[in-house]
Structure 1
Amino acid sequence: MAKSMLIVSRQPPWAGPAAREALDIALAGGAYDLPVAMLFLDDGVYQLLDAQAPDAVQQKNLAANLQALPLFGVDELFVCTTSLALRGLADASLAIAAQPLTDAQLRELLPRFDLVVTL
């Protein structure tokens, strides 16, 4: 039986390779029918913002990768409500739908997965 994996993405979209690597791992796992979910936590919530300007820092937009997640079977996307609130993003427009989770719900989420990868 395939192990399930939760990828916790904690980095902003263009502070280094971590955000892109998290998405690449999710897409690769989904391509091999591994049950994969993603959690956007801390500064990782910035990846979900609808309006971004990657050209300003000479990077590619991650939106296409985010939009491709369901095509690869990565249907469970979660976002931490505390992380959104602390960054003033509680009412922000997100580029892709993610299920908001409270801190208590996060504690219940993690044990559901066999592997947890944090980037």
Structure 2
Amino acid sequence: MTLAAVAGLGVYFASVGLDNADKLGSVIGALVAVAGLSLTVYGLVAASGGGRRLVQQTARASGGRISQVGGDQTGAASLGRDAAAEVRQRARAYKDGEISQVAGDQAPPAQP
């Protein structure tokens, strides 16, 4: 695979010339840098959660058992960090199906 890519680049450089290939490479590099910077900023904003998080779960059981736990199980709320602001759980059991749902802060409170 790598050998094919190197061969393809060699053919391309020979056909358009090194000067034109250098110019095109500079333009592509600048576009990739701008896209990377944009994605980095988006990732930082998305990671912060904007102060609110939503946990959403859906389950269907038919002849089996499903357990759903939603919310903060890490203790983030007890450490002063934002936990899930909203938990939505939907469930539907058919025939002999059973569903258990628990939502909210599952971590023990912080010790003073």
- TM-score interval (norm. to shorter): under 0.3
Q: Which has the higher strand share?
A: 2
TM-score (norm 2): 0.27
Structure number, greater radius of gyration: 2
TM-score (norm 1): 0.26
